[in-house]
């Protein structure tokens, strides 16, 4: 091939090239390293409505059911097939731009996918489905790779039904009704704009107004104690009954309030797909991912699950505790976190400070319990940090503890308050221990 042919070939490729990501893009394939950890959470079981899995042979059995429902849809509607095909043709460019991947489908193939999507919302049972299949279909419809742009579905519905009657509910209301089991916050459909089904489920969990979650910091979690470790430290888990929004976590001194959450068969699938959606489309507004990160830290073992169940925070619908632990273990692996909700950053810092204070308090209490009154005092004492590790001066440490203990007995402040003040002032442990020695023996 001559160099001119190569140049012309490349020019042709450049002319046909389009940016894979546009402002219309909202449907993605799960990133490889995330999918690798849990393939089942992103794998369709029975039905595809989006174009990514159109050629999967395992999903072809449902095509017959789609045709039956689509035929019933046409019978109930106020539009003919030709009109719908023309409508889809007009929407095709924007439809293709909604996908992050280039769709290797002809115009005719894409039109058939759109027109034959499963019409679960039809009131007439054209072909009764078994309950297990209906459940699987509901789960398939929330997979991030199995989405159709909502504007296409809504416009088709409006073209076929709404134009002929004023008594038919909008497609958005029907969608709200179909996914009502996830709408624990009772989010209203007024003034709601969604991109697709899984986007709606994310909105259910955020609740309105979203502005209160919009402030974030470019920080991430380093460590949080597990639920059982928090209980051992002195944290009391309490059911937050003032809200139904799962994200409303609150911590005040030793009380950690958490809204109740249920763990069911589809919980793991839903969480993984919501996190994948935020990774791809909401990297700077990853509020669900923030919540998941905290749960991943808190739930590491069956003891952690039991601690949450005992306080009515977690409802186990799976039966055994191992299954619940497996749902939350590793949820944060391979997740890129660009920032963290300010609300959660403050909550996590407060939790860690409380645990640190309790550790120091317990250490001091142990040291005080071991201290005994001396008969005589002959040693020299260090009060500054320079000679803290001098072995010749360690004999006085026992005496310091005795005086500090007496200081606590006579004072009007408890050990916890002193340690908390020390944390705020950034004093060293030695400074705190030596506060009593600055007082005359008579005042002790």
Domain spans of the chain, in order of start = 18-204, 211-345, 371-443
* Average pLDDT across the chain, whole number: 79
Burial class for 232, CB neighbours closer than 10 Å (0-12, 13-18, 19+): middle
* Segment 5-14 mean pLDDT: 77
**By percentage, how much of the chain surpasses pLDDT 90?**
32
Q: Give the pLDDT of residue 80.
A: 81
Handedness of CA 95, 101, 102, 107 (dihedral sign): negative
Cβ neighbors of 299 (< 8 A, separation 6 or more) are 226, 227, 305, 308, 324, 325, 328, 329
Residue 223 in this model has a pLDDT that exceeds 50? yes
Are the C-beta atoms of residues 163 and 169 closer than 8 Å to each other? no
Strand partners, 99: 27
Give pTM, 2 decimals.
0.78
| pLDDT tens, position by position, 370-400 | 655 444 444 455 666 666 677 776 766 776 7
pLDDT for 284-323, tens place per residue? Answer: 889 999 999 999 999 999 999 999 999 999 999 998 999 9
Report the pLDDT value the prediction gives residue 342, as an integer from 0 to 100: 83
Burial call 404-432: b when 16+ CB within 10 Å, e when fewer: bbebeeeeeeebbebbbebeeeeeeeeeb
pLDDT classification of 438: cutoffs 50, 70, 90:
very low
Q: What is the reported pLDDT for 35? A: 93
The CB-side HSE value for 348 (13 A sphere, CA atoms) comes to 21
């Amino acid at each position: 091939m001559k160099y001119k042919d190569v140049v012309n070939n490349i020019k042709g490729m450049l002319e046909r090239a389009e940016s894979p990501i546009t402002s219309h893009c909202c449907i993605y394939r799960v990133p490889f390293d995330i999918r690798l950890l849990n393939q089942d959470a992103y794998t369709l079981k029975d039905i595809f409505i989006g174009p990514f899995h159109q050629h999967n042979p395992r999903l072809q059995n449902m095509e017959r059911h789609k045709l039956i429902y689509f035929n019933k849809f046409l019978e109930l509607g106020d539009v003919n097939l030709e009109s719908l095909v023309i409508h889809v043709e007009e929407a095709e460019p924007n439809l293709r731009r909604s996908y992050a991947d280039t769709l290797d489908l002809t115009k005719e193939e894409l039109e058939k996918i759109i027109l034959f999507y499963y019409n679960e919302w039809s009131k007439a049972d054209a072909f009764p489905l078994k309950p297990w299949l209906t459940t699987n279909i509901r789960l398939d419809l929330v997979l991030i790779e199995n989405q159709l742009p909502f504007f296409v579905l809504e416009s088709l519905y409006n073209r076929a039904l709404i134009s002929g009657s004023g008594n038919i509910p909008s497609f958005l209301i029907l969608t709200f009704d179909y996914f009502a089991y996830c709408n624990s916050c009772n989010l209203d459909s007024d003034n709601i704009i969604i991109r697709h089904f899984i986007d709606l489920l994310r909105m259910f969990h955020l609740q309105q107004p979203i502005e209160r979650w919009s402030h974030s910091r470019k920080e991430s979690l380093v460590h949080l104690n597990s639920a059982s470790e928090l209980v051992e430290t002195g944290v009391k888990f309490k059911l937050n009954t003032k809200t139904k929004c799962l994200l409303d976590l609150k911590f005040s001194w030793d009380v950690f309030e958490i809204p109740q959450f249920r763990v069911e068969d589809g919980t793991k699938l839903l969480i993984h797909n919501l996190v994948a959606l935020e990774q791809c489309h909401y990297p700077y507004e990853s509020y669900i991912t923030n919540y998941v990160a905290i749960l991943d830290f808190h739930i590491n073992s069956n003891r952690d699950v039991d601690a949450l169940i005992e306080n009515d925070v977690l409802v186990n619908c799976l039966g055994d505790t191992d299954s619940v632990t497996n749902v939350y273990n590793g949820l944060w692996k391979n997740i890129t976190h660009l920032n963290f909700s300010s609300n959660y950053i403050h909550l996590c810092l407060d939790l860690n400070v409380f645990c640190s204070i309790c550790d120091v308090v317990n250490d001091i209490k142990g040291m005080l319990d071991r201290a005994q009154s001396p008969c005589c005092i002959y040693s020299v004492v260090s009060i500054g940090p320079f000679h803290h590790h001098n072995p010749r001066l360690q004999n006085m440490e026992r005496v310091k503890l005795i005086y500090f203990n007496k200081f606590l007995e006579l004072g009007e402040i408890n050990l916890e308050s002193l340690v908390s003040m020390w944390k705020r002032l950034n004093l060293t442990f030695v400074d705190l221990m030596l506060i009593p020695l600055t007082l005359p023996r008579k005042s002790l």
